[in-house]
Chains A and B, each alone.
Chain A
Amino acid sequence: MKKTLFLLTATLVIAGFVIAGTNITIKGSDTLIRLGQRWAEEYMKINNGVVIQVAGGGSGTGIAALLNGTTDICESSRDMKEKEYSQAKDKGVTPYRVSVALDGIAVFLNEKNKVQELSIAQLKGIYTGAITNWKEVGGNDARIIIYGRENNSGTYVYFKEEVLGNEDYSEYTQTLPGTAAVVNAVSKDVNGIGYGGIAWAKGVKYAAIKKDDASPAVVPSVETVSGGSYPISRELYWFFNGKPTGQLKDLVNWALSEAGQKIAEEVDYIPLPRERANEMTIE
């Protein structure tokens, strides 16, 4: 009896919230889901009556949901494709894009490796299999052992698009589950190289990355990614149907505020530079 009563009250309370408050759904990128959830929790704490549901599924899933009108906010780690923009037009959806945080991909080397810096072109050579020896990029005469992520990881896809210019990875790329496994492998392998999120580097060193031969070599850090000088970084987006108003506008402006960006940094994302965040903030 007690249990039934409790359940009944709980249902009523939840139903009450849903009816009385605003219900916001967020859906999309698995890269962004952790941040979306943290923002949702914090925002619900300071705004009684707002219920936010966050779901993953991938950027593509989120965009499809936005076009079908089944989500208010779509989280995406990439811009929408031409095809998706034209589909949106057909469905009467006008996508409104807001950058909400940054993400950087670090390249890991073993601590004992002589090589300190690599250019994007060299990285591409290494990962497509055109460069196979460390001496070709200023290191010892030793075979380069390449480690990467499994082929369905978002990081795999991003690195492939951004660094390899969409060419295939070398067949010698050893794929490991998770950035932590990649870091571990490189830390045990003097001739190893790997890539992954910045927050995961322990026991290995970052390669400084040059955009091209003329550019300075930059080591990834919150400052260099946020400042835009680190070349392998991307903006992460929220998409809305039309310019957000009311509660949605309040939510996105709060996420872009210093408090919101500080939460992003706490959960290992890279906050937007202040100007960029201000630029994104909706009047």
Chain B
Amino acid sequence: MIELEFKRKSKLREFLGEKFISINAYAALIGILLIFVFIFKEALPIFTDEEIRDEVTVERMIFKQEFYEGREPKFSWQPNSDVPKYSLYPLFLGTIKAAIIAMLFSVPLGVGAAIYSSQFAGKRMREIIKPVIEMLAAIPSVVLGFFALMLLATFLQNVIGLTFRLNALNAGIALGLAVIPIIFTVAEDAMTSVPKSLRDAAIALGANPWQVSLTMVFPAAMPGIAAGVVLGFGRAIGETMIVLMASGNAAIVSASFVESIRTFSATIAAELAEVVFGGAHYTVLFFIGSLLFVFTFLINLSGDLILMKLKEKLQGKSN
């Protein structure tokens, strides 16, 4: 009798516990969905509101515009002007430039460190390296931005002799510091999870450690490394504070990597606080927000898909 009572109680408790946990999971889902809906809703008037479409349309944001009669058509981001100019191209270019430099800087370092830590480092060394690199992720981005603004920019200018102190290179390197731990962690996990049987087989065939890691482990873990790079790229596109502080925020159309840039995320951060609520400028900023959301969503999704594939593959082989 007592036992039954106890069972019933614990069943109830189990039931409630389970419901509580699943509600938490759904809350996160619903939260993301609501954010999604809100951002798109605020960007929608660009397609529907006549008054806003008088000032800006998607077409005018994408293509070169003849802003003043008789002058050469060009791309320009000047939202606070007699003739408001909302070309997205300079911002897109800035975002991509910063991300490219961040990747050029962080991929070799992140992947290299991952190979060393997973393949060559002794147990003690590995226990030091891994947490230290992962600690980089714990540095607030505003601190990295401040570091780039005050120290890195001066250092780069003195060493390379740059005209512009705050530029794509400076921002990209600082971004790279934020991206390294992402690439490192994912790539390192992928390489350590390559089954020992594969490695043993290679050693048994007489391969030295270099050959084992480069011809055996590295290719097997390739999808994981690729996923790390993709996730890092997503971070580089969306990161705001570092570029806001370190890039100079000038919306220039040029191929140079040592001129200032203005990125999508920094533009939203700098301008959203004081625009007229519901106006054309406000709507454009939300449109940019939607673009960023879709970009990073797709990038992260593809990263996760690659990782899932990798897991299937490795498990399949080890069985």
Interface residues of A (CB under 8 A from B): 58, 143, 145, 150-153, 156-157, 160, 166, 168-169, 171-177, 185, 188-189, 191-192
* B interface SS class: loop
Contacts of B273 in A (CB 8 A): 152
Contacts of A156 in B (CB 8 A): 80
In the complex, are the beta carbons of A177 and B244 less than 8 A apart? Answer: yes
Residue of A with least CB distance to B275:
A152
**Chain B 258-279 against A: per-residue CB contact (8 Å), 1 yes, 0 no?**
0110100000001101110000
Residue B22 interfacial (CB < 8 Å): no
Q: A143-B163, A168-B78, A174-B260 are in contact. Are A152 and B250 (CB under 8 A)?
A: no
Interface size on B, residues (CB 8 A): 30
In the complex, are the beta carbons of B260 and A176 less than 8 A apart? Answer: no
In the complex, are the beta carbons of A171 and B252 less than 8 A apart? Answer: yes
Contacts of A157 in B (CB 8 A): 80
Q: Which of B77, B79, B166, B271 contacts A174 (CB 8 A)?
A: B166
Q: A162 vs B275: C-alpha distance in the bound complex, in angstroms? A: 21
In the complex, are the beta carbons of B252 and A175 less than 8 A apart? Answer: no
Residue B172 interfacial (CB < 8 Å): no
Among residues 67 to 91 in chain B, which have CB atoms less than 8 Å away from a CB atom of chain A?
76-82, 85, 90
Contacts of B253 in A (CB 8 A): 171
Residue B251 interfacial (CB < 8 Å): yes
Contacts of A173 in B (CB 8 A): 250
**Most chain-B CB neighbours within 10 Å: which of A143, A145, A160, A166?**
A145
Q: A188 vs B253: C-alpha distance in the bound complex, in angstroms? A: 25
In the complex, are the beta carbons of A174 and B248 less than 8 A apart? Answer: yes
Q: A143-B163, A145-B163, A152-B275 are in contact. Are A172 and B250 (CB under 8 A)?
A: yes
Q: Which of B82, B90, B259, B270 contacts A175 (CB 8 A)?
A: B270
In the complex, are the beta carbons of B81 and A185 less than 8 A apart? Answer: no
**Complex A-B: 8 CB contacts under 8 Å:** A150-B270, A151-B80, A152-B273, A152-B275, A168-B81, A169-B78, A171-B77, A175-B262
In the complex, are the beta carbons of B249 and A176 less than 8 A apart? Answer: yes
Among residues 197 to 251 in chain B, which have CB atoms less than 8 Å away from a CB atom of chain A?
244, 248-251
In the complex, are the beta carbons of A145 and B165 less than 8 A apart? Answer: yes
Contacts of B249 in A (CB 8 A): 150, 174-176
Residue of B with least CB distance to A156:
B80
Q: A75 vs B165: C-alpha distance in the bound complex, in angstroms? A: 38
Contacts of A176 in B (CB 8 A): 249
CB distance from B132 to the nearest CB of A (A): 30
Q: A157 vs B154: C-alpha distance in the bound complex, in angstroms? A: 30
Residue B297 interfacial (CB < 8 Å): no
CB distance from A149 to the nearest CB of B (A): 10
Contacts of B244 in A (CB 8 A): 177
In the complex, are the beta carbons of B250 and A174 less than 8 A apart? Answer: yes
Q: A166 vs B83: C-alpha distance in the bound complex, in angstroms? A: 10
CB distance from A247 to the nearest CB of B (A): 32
Residue B38 interfacial (CB < 8 Å): no
Other than the given A171-B77, A172-B252, A175-B249, 15 more pairs (CB < 8 A) read A143-B163, A145-B164, A150-B270, A151-B78, A152-B275, A156-B80, A171-B250, A173-B250, A174-B248, A174-B249, A174-B260, A175-B250, A176-B249, A177-B270, A188-B154
